[in-house]
Structure 1
Amino acid sequence: MTPAPIATLLTDRRFAILAAALLTSPYWTSALAKLLDWNSAVAEAAHFGLQPAMFVAALTILVQLVGSFAIVFRRGAWLGAGALGVFTALATLVAHPFWTIAEPMARFHERNTFLEHVGLIGGLMLAAILRERTR
């Protein structure tokens, strides 16, 4: 049985907004950083061989901001979570291919980062489920 103060917290709309903002913080903060340093955003896309780099950088910012907004403010949260989940899966495969790294410590760190991103995808899936249930 959930203690009453915890049950109250778990049903508080403000707590849900905070949780959604925290879950999406890697995305919206990344988008803001890219907007503030556009040249680095384009260079990052080019570094990973993603062309046209300017288009990829702009699309990344759009997905990160709109997806985060959708989850936090419950406006098509399932679509925002899905977009961020697909984006995360693709970006993780491109940026953290631990299975290609020979050096054990570097492979270990890349594998951990890869799995953290997989966990984030799971969190986005839960956000979509919970936002839909409380609609």
Structure 2
Amino acid sequence: MTPAPIAALLRKRWFAVAATALLTLPYWTSGLAKLADLGGALAEAAYFGLRPAALAVTATILVQIGASALLILGRMAWLGAGALGVFTALATIIAHPFWQVADPLARFHERNTFLEHAGLIGGLVLAAILAEREIRS
């Protein structure tokens, strides 16, 4: 049984919004950073072989900020979570292919990053599930 003060906190809408803002923090802050440094964002896209880089950066910023906002605001949370989940899966495969890294220490770090991103995908799915339950109740 959940203690009453914790149960009361878990029912608060602001607490869910704060938790979702924290879950999406890596995305919307990255999107804002890309907006602030478009040259760096374009260089990053080119480094990873994403062509045309401008299209990749535009799509990335829209997904990172737009999908985060959907999830945080609880509006079409399934779409926001899905967009961020697909984005994360693709970005993780592109940027962290640990299976291709020869150096054991570097492979260890890439594998951990890969798994952390997989955990984020799980958190996004859970956020969509909880948002759907909120709508139905």
TM-score category of the 2 structures, normalised to the smaller one: over 0.9
Partner of 1:38: 38
Say whether 1:50 aligns with 2:50: yes
State how far apart, in whole Å, the 1-side matches of 2:70 and 2:132 are: 12
The secondary structure found in structure 1 opposite 2:115 is: helix
Partner of 2:99: 99
State how far apart, in whole Å, the 1-side matches of 2:48 and 2:86 are: 17
Given residue 89 of structure 2, which amino acid in structure 1 is its aligned partner? A
- Please report how far the alpha carbon of residue 108 of structure 1 lies from its aligned counterpart in structure 2 after TM superposition: 0.2
Partner of 1:111: 111
- Please report how far the alpha carbon of residue 89 of structure 1 lies from its aligned counterpart in structure 2 after TM superposition: 0.1
The secondary structure found in structure 2 opposite 1:55 is: helix
Calculate percent identity across the aligned residue pairs.
68
State how far apart, in whole Å, the 2-side matches of 1:98 and 1:23 are: 24
Given residue 56 of structure 1, which amino acid in structure 2 is its aligned partner? A
TM-score normalised to structure 1 length = 0.99
State how far apart, in whole Å, the 2-side matches of 1:97 and 1:64 are: 21
Q: Which runs of 5+ in 2 are unaligned?
A: none
State how far apart, in whole Å, the 2-side matches of 1:55 and 1:24 are: 22
Question: How many pairs align?
Answer: 135
Partner of 2:78: 78
Partner of 2:63: 63
- Please report how far the alpha carbon of residue 126 of structure 1 lies from its aligned counterpart in structure 2 after TM superposition: 0.1
State how far apart, in whole Å, the 2-side matches of 1:97 and 1:67 are: 25
Q: Which runs of 5+ in 1 are unaligned?
A: none
Q: CA RMSD in A?
A: 0.3
Partner of 1:125: 125
Given residue 26 of structure 1, which amino acid in structure 2 is its aligned partner? P
TM-score normalised to structure 2 length = 0.98
